A = this chain, B = another copy of it.
């Protein structure tokens, strides 16, 4: 049953007190006796008034209690990724303490303007697919925290992707005779799994994928290995479907790689499966390393060698940066996790 539509004013009249008192009962407990406050709250509950209208309150106070979490791509894609899920969980957990809610927003939306007036700030997880959003975020007067990439003058949370990628790659590469292939995540703007040739790589954006690629290439250079430009694959989404296609192409190529550098654990896991199907021994015939350190990477056989980053903490730190109005650029730790896959 729908109840009468109460406002601060009407409920004040009903209870025979002033509007200020109602407002204070909900927002400023110190402004009235706790006895009176309890009475008022109970009466409101009874009558079906659930507190001051948030939209009006937000207009007046300039604060809504909602922050926008901009995911780099469409919500359905992002959300099925264990790494992104962990991150969201971290953000939500941190904001929960201040009873702040999260508005999920897709990085492929046309504009942040549709929602910016409803939120107190943005956390932007990964460079948004739609580049327009980047410049909008740079211009907005709302607080913005970026994660896994940087925006002019915004506080941020990152790990050193290049260094981590370099270190894990160095771990997998042993001699200059090694045949190295890279299964990269979202290296170019294509919906399909495909090889990426060197000339297409010029536009290295600000994405983590390109930082990881840099790291891999650093390690190859150091070992005097030439990735001739046929050994890099683009995987459009971090899931088994697209990743196993890339793995299959790589592992059935003429010069079969014996080192597979994968830009996510999901990709590495898929590669592991494909290798098994093809009867290729890991790590004897092919060493595989991942990136992220998701749970499943520790459960598989052989265990995955990977870069372990704590996405949950990343989410927490990003949220705290936003709440605390800090302007830090955090660089979080990671750890190399050496499994049997390399």
Binding site for B on A (CB under 8 A): 1-3, 5, 48, 50-51, 53-56, 58-59, 64-66, 74-76, 79-80, 82, 85-86, 88-89, 92, 99, 101-106, 109, 111, 113-118, 136, 138-141
Contact = CB atoms under 8 A, between A and B. Distances in A.
Given A75-B88, A79-B85, A102-B104, A117 B55 contact: yes
A106 B91 CA distance: 14
Contacts of A86: 76
A92 B101 CA distance: 20
Q: Number of copies of this chain in the oligomer?
A: 2
Given A1-B139, A75-B102, 19 more contacts: A2-B140, A3-B141, A50-B116, A50-B136, A54-B115, A54-B117, A55-B64, A55-B118, A65-B114, A66-B103, A75-B79, A75-B104, A76-B85, A76-B86, A76-B92, A99-B114, A101-B105, A103-B103, A104-B104
A109 B79 CA distance: 19
A74 B89 CA distance: 9
Contacts of A139: 1-3, 48
A113 to B, nearest CB: 5
A331 to B, nearest CB: 25
A76 B102 CA distance: 12
A193 to B, nearest CB: 16
A195 to B, nearest CB: 24
Nearest to A57: B117
A120 to B, nearest CB: 11
A203 to B, nearest CB: 24
Contacts of A75: 79, 88, 92, 102, 104
B89 A76 contact: yes
Contacts of A99: 114
A115 B66 contact: yes
